[in-house]
Amino acid sequence: MLFDLKNKVAVVTGGGSGIGKAIAEVFAEQGAQVCILELTSKAAKESARALTDQRLLAKGYTCDVTHLSEVVSSVQAIVKKFGRIDILVNCAGIAHIGKLETTSAEDFEKVFQINVRGVYNSMVAVIPTMTKQKYGVILNVASVAGSTGIKERFAYSMSKGAVLSMTLSTAKDYIKEGIRCNSISPARVHTPFVDGFLKNNYPGKEDEMFEKLSQTQPIGRMAKPVEVAHFALYLCSDEASFLTGCDYLIDGGFTKLNN
């Protein structure tokens, strides 16, 4: 079977919602033992239960990715239980709307802590295990905002630009240890976050604004989380064993065709 993840142990941060949830589901369907890292105990347990109820392999771990000690503790628990970590997918992240002068220092720091330090913490926690194994795959979820100018996304763009740079450096530094590291850059994806954003900011005009946002992708719609998950599956599978040190667009033509 192509893209078979049987006997692989995959860690997915932010695996309880949105893109992370879709990735956790797809990886589990392909046979991986999925370890979901979520901020609250409730989210971690419910996310894992949703998969185990389908007779898929999953376990939830409560972890705040902004605290290195918590990430290391979770990783150690995973290695103790399953003996290895083959795949790390960094999905945990938050969005922020605002340009430079409307982004407070507090909001800037919050975005940095989750979107940048969280990725650093997760990678630095798994690297010793992957180095020892002489095998590992890291996939970081970046964004088109990290490489293109998007109006009023100052802090968010900063954070995703940092994710791109960390991805390239990690790929180069650990290629001899058998570790691959890539990132994906989605454009707009239809997740519960989008629905909540429209409800809170455009009450009564949700459908109109949803269509407007959808049309910013030349393909004419937002991505589905499972479409991103299928791309992630390929990049984390052995079929992609020649791919490392790259960022891959999944953006419905947003980057290249919006001219």
Catalytic residues: 156
Burial 63-93 (b: 16+ CB within 10 A, else e): bbbbebebbbebbeebbeebebbbbbbbbbb
CA 21, CA 13: separation in Å to the nearest integer?
9
Cα 243 from chain centre: 18
